[in-house]
Amino acid sequence: MSEVEVRQGEATSSGKSGLLAIAALVVGLALGGVAGFVALGMLTAPPTIEAADSKPARKEHGKGDEKPSLYVLENLVVNPAGTKGQRFLIVTVALEGNTAQEAEELKHSDPQLRDAFLRILGNKTVDELSDLRLREALKLELRRGAAAVIGKRDLRSIYLPQFVLQ
């Protein structure tokens, strides 16, 4: 064997061991990073929903131990007043009742509630809908609209979890 062939063999074997060392280093760093990420996430994560649900429900309106429940009307689409169809609002309205039975009753009024909400929202201008200072007044107006549909039943609250104005 010539001297050149011996040197090439040494270079090849030392090159393979160098690549192996680099690969081991990269894998070790990756595993350490994942372990650190998981440990940090566990330390900084908010309490789970189960922990929050373990608290006793508030008693209000003399309704006993029943938890409030939500009835959600999703994806209401309306053109605001004065936009000539050039702008639109997509909104989801969540109605919070005092009991699960009330939420079931709201379900039976779904078409009437949608109609009432679309009428109320369609009479608002883009400026009225986009002004965050008017959002609570809008919720109150939606609550009154719901009360007109469902009668004098008391709703705990109305939420607007989706409110997209384009």
> Looking at the domain covering 69-165, what would its CATH class be?
alpha beta
What pLDDT was estimated at residue 15?
Answer: 65
Closest CA to 73 of 100, 41, 95: 95
Please count the CA atoms within 13 angstroms of the CA of 75 that sit on its side-chain side. Answer: 0
Give the pLDDT means over successive 10-residue stretches in the chain (166 positions).
55 67 74 59 48 40 64 94 92 90 86 95 95 94 91 84 94
Residue 6, φ and ψ in degrees, nearest 5:
-65, -45
pLDDT at 151: 82
Q: Determine the pLDDT at residue 58.
A: 42
Secondary structure percentages of the chain, helix, strand, coil, to 5: 55, 20, 25
Sheet arrangement for strand 69-78: 69-78, 89-97, 157-165
Q: Is the pTM of this model over 0.85?
A: no
The DSSP output letter for 133 is G
